[in-house]
Chains A and B, each alone.
Chain A
Amino acid sequence: MDTAPAAKATVHAQNPPKRRALLFLVLPPALWLLCFLVLPYLGLFIQSFLGSDDLGNVVLEPTLDPWKAFFTKTLYRSTLLYTFKIALTVTSLSVLFSVPLAYFIAFKVRRWKELLYSLIIVPLWVSYIVRAYAWKIILGREGILNSFLQWAKITDAPVEAFLYSEWAIVIGLVHIYTPFVLMPVYTAFEQIPRSLVEASKDLGAGRLTTFFRVVFPLSLPGVIAGGTFAFVLTLGDFLAPVLLGGTDNLMISNVVQNLFGTSNDRPLGSVVGIVLLVVVVALLETTSRAEKSFASLESGRGRLGGAR
């Protein structure tokens, strides 16, 4: 295990006590992360090139079969596309929901600001599973929404279509992941110098023009960061689809879960896991670049110049 680049703390020019202190500080976490994180990821990659016997046990025979299976069976491609579609919907709705609330708290509230800010932070810390469950008791056949609709005489029989549908997944995920978008969007709004907004108004721009040409462009780094959170978290979600979408609306992470569970095909499961990983890394890399390029507009040149 001494091949760990991070663990190889060979310090040359420093004095011995400092060097010993450094080893003492860096070796334990570096070794831990190597053994319990880097090697497992590496193992997953290797496993995606291995075969399995009739019982589904992984055997040490290199093969490309799992990758061939992934690229030839349409199930995986269509599930991946379906997952992207859901993730895109969830991301768009989360952003759409976050912008007015974050804007309102950042620009329109003064006295209750601290409290409202806490209110948007708190859900980040509150149990995922319980928040998904809340929608189950609301949307279920014998749920509160159906019961309410019948009580209010809007419908006379329970509506079946609420739960176990694509929309149930989307609503549940938007509910769970909107706070992750709210926070960076709010931070971005807060960082906009108020003088810029005033300047825009003084120069005769209306509210809408000011919002769309000054405020919103400046909040883009936050929107992109938040949107990325929502998208990536949706890609990795395998509980909400089962809880709210039932058996007909499985997403890519459910495929991974099944291949490591009931279907017991770990090499193929590893392939799907690696694909998911590559998608996420590529996405994070792209959006962090986009964030930076938009953040550089804050210097006051770029798009702001155009607004003037």
Chain B
Amino acid sequence: MKSRFDLPTLFVGAAAAFVLAFIYLPMVVVVVYSFNPDAVNVFPMRGFSLRWYRMLLDDEQLVSALRVSLLIALGGTSIGLLLGVPGAIALARHEFPGKRILERIVLLPLTLPGIVTGVAMLSFFPLIGVPVSLLAVLIGHGTFLIAITLTQVYARLRRLDPSLEEASADLGAPPLTTFFRVILPNIKTAIIGSALLSFTLSLDEIPVTFFLIAGDNTLPIQIWAMMRRGISPEVNAISTLVFAGSIGLILLGTALGGRDKE
């Protein structure tokens, strides 16, 4: 497969470079213009300034939105782990009536448009005593994060030889011991990976949150509200921090979870 860099290869290479630029250039623009000293995004930029970052720190609504988002992400991820991991074990290791249906239901929040899930929850939650509120947002996030964790851990369990667990049980280990000493070490990286994925997705979630929120905004909804009010370079600054945060989480994920994230 040793190919010289000839004309067709150059052509494909140029197309590839164009697409990569198309994906990255807009993000680079936002980062560069977050250091813009002017209030208008002009080309070329006239200098360098941190004023918009200083402005962020004083923006109480934004700081509170960040706090709300982190809390929801933490809570949602915990719900996802507490219910998703057992669910994955049940689906991967046991036979029970309704298993097929459960398998399909779990995929719904991942495949159906978020807006439909959002309006369905908006209509139904008040009927069971959950008004639009941060609690509703938390339940909404928890629901799709169960799906995320369950599918990720399930995929790992399917690749794990069940005879290990059978051996553990045959040697007299009670189910909990088998879980902690045989299953858990083997699915640890999948759990860490799905927790980080859940956290990131929750921090970024809009379609469901949009309909369940009342008053206290999450970070993306607050950014959305700021954008609708008009273009402010402050949004460039918070966007840059959001980029940095996502990339930090990805690096953490690769460092902790190894290569097996699909």
Contacts and interface: CB of A to CB of B under 8 A. Distances in A.
Interface of A: 4-11, 17-18, 21-22, 24-26, 28-30, 32-33, 35-41, 43-44, 47, 58, 97-98, 100-101, 103-105, 107-108, 118-123, 125-131, 133-138, 140, 142-144, 147-148, 151, 175, 178-179, 194, 197-198, 207-208, 232-233, 235-236, 238-239, 242-243, 253, 256-257, 260, 266, 269-270, 273, 276-277, 280-281, 284
Contacts of B16: 100-101, 103-105
B23 A232 contact: no
A260 B87 contact: no
A178 B98 contact: no
A6 B116 CA distance: 22
Instruction: Give the 4 A-B CB pairs with smallest separation, nearest first.
Output: A236-B113, A134-B26, A29-B87, A104-B16
B72 to A, nearest CB: 15
A296 to B, nearest CB: 21
Interface string B105-143: 110110111111101111111011000000000011011
B143 A253 contact: no
B97 A10 contact: yes
A133 B108 contact: no
Contacts of B19: 97-98, 100-101, 178
A133 B227 contact: yes
A160 B133 CA distance: 40
B22 interface: yes
Contact of A144 (B33, B142, B227): B33
A44 B123 contact: yes
Most chain A beta-carbon neighbours within 10 Å: one of B109, B210, B227: B227
B88 to A, nearest CB: 9
Given A105-B16, A131-B27, A126 B243 contact: yes
A280 B26 contact: no
Contacts of A33: 102, 105-106, 143, 146
Given A40-B120, A243-B227, A126 B27 contact: yes
B66 interface: no
A37 B87 CA distance: 16
Given A43-B123, A125-B250, 16 more contacts: A6-B99, A25-B90, A32-B143, A40-B117, A105-B16, A119-B20, A126-B27, A130-B27, A133-B223, A137-B30, A142-B41, A175-B26, A233-B113, A239-B206, A243-B227, A277-B112
Given A137-B29, A137-B30, A142-B41, A36 B143 contact: yes
B105 A108 contact: no
A39 B175 CA distance: 33
User: DSSP majority for the A interface?
Assistant: helix
Contacts of A8: 97-98
Contacts of B8: 207-208
B13 A266 contact: no
A198 B89 CA distance: 43
A97 B16 CA distance: 8
A131 B112 CA distance: 22
A284 B231 CA distance: 38
A256 B143 contact: no
Contact of A130 (B9, B105, B139, B243): B243
Contact of B96 (A26, A29, A32, A37): A26
B215 interface: no
B43 interface: yes
Interface of B: 1, 3, 8-9, 12-13, 15-16, 19-20, 22-24, 26-27, 29-30, 33, 40-44, 79, 82-84, 86-87, 89-91, 94, 96-99, 101-102, 105-106, 108-109, 111-117, 119-125, 127-128, 139-140, 142-143, 146, 150, 175, 200, 204, 206-207, 210-211, 220, 223-224, 227-228, 231, 235-236, 239, 242-243, 246-247, 249-250, 254
A179 B20 CA distance: 10
Contact of A270 (B123, B204, B231, B235): B123
Contact of B113 (A38, A119, A253): A253
B109 A37 contact: yes
Contact of A101 (B9, B20, B90, B204): B20
A36 B139 contact: yes
Contacts of B102: 6, 26, 30, 33
Nearest to B254: A118
B105 A6 contact: yes
Given A30-B87, A108-B9, A44 B142 contact: no
Contacts of A277: 112-113, 116
A140 B40 CA distance: 11
Contacts of B235: 133
Contact of A127 (B84, B105, B127, B239): B239
A256 B119 contact: yes
A5 B104 CA distance: 12
A37 B33 contact: no
8 contacts: A43-B127, A122-B247, A123-B27, A127-B220, A137-B33, A142-B40, A270-B119, A281-B112
Nearest to A194: B1
A266 B146 contact: no
Contact of A108 (B12, B42, B84, B247): B12
